[in-house]
Chains A and B, each alone.
Chain A
């Protein structure tokens, strides 16, 4: 147990080094991630030409949502962890990892953390520039930011996204190529997760269903928590559901891993 804990900072350091080996790739990724915010700005400005509010949102409120979403995405979304795990399984690269006294899930979690730290650092400058430029055109409602509620929701989002990614990637024990599955789930995450629009713009019955699904707690819930647009009751219920889903996916990942190992064939080193 102690040796496992002592190994974790090393895993984190390896993860950081892996990410920083391709700094330009990272910087490009961070720069491109700001593009949807620019498109949202142009699009929603046109929508608000004829109306003061859309749903419960004013134009500054809605753009604040999209701007904060950039941060949530930078902190909590896995980059290519799913493809890395899939490759490790498919190409037999699990062998040396299995020999180490380190649970695979924990090993991947620390690599995920390192990836998020590196990406957030790379994305910080483009995000700050975006915020600055946008706030010159539109008075963003950054004064309402609620870190006390937002940070736990952000942590929950990272845990939920990691556990869902782990479940999906571990299906590589059975399937040769899982990229179609991964992109299918991406599209669900974008639509039902509040990435394309805030979920509370949906008609009420659909919104009620969306709030029960795990995807809502990946983007919409942490973003709305940070923006301070949720009531105390809604935030508490949301946090319980978010961590509940994360725990459920972690347990599921554990069972998939156990079943997958029975199927896995290690050959050579």
Chain B
């Protein structure tokens, strides 16, 4: 078992294992389950992620509120036009991250990574990198174990809850996890994974959770989109040999402390940020009327 990123990287280096392998062995040790059982369960999660992505980029997904849906497809069409500024890999990842969150907002089936509101970044980054890196199914499942290992450290030392730590704890964590996992998928070292995560999460510090009308839609879908792009850029930086001056564990701790300092209005209460703009308030009124959702709901 590892409690910090430092311990995780040390474990991997000393036993000449990948981060994903350290995570799998740790899971076997903690739960007493077999490698096959653990691997199959994660492969099942990968299937769910893939289905959500496919649904989001092919079907006409719309949320009940009408606030989100269809943007992943718009990006796919734009990609096909060959005119993109940021490049095919990046935009494909962005589109697939959005696809996942659009399905989530429409109350579809997704796999939380680490949460539902931030479920797009990790699979979006993976499926966006697929054409470039051509991974086999095992490598794709391993990507999820690597992302899980880093997320595990964040969850136990800081938070992955927007209500407790703001969006930095959700999309911030997911971006760090995806960056670290992308490094391993591309053949980087455990240490480079740690730097990618530190760079990615460090860039997300202070990000507030301000869902318009309290819905996991605006700005969540777009935060996941740009989270996926940041993850790939951070992974590239680490693979190029760039190091985070602040060690990964200290970045995680900083995220935790920033979350503690953040006022309640900016932590998933829909009382600040974009939720508290004239348009944000108007959208809330349009969706719920003026009284709801503050009135008690009776059933029947």
Partners in one complex: no
Where the two chains meet, the residues of A that have a C-beta atom closer than 8 Å to any C-beta of B are none
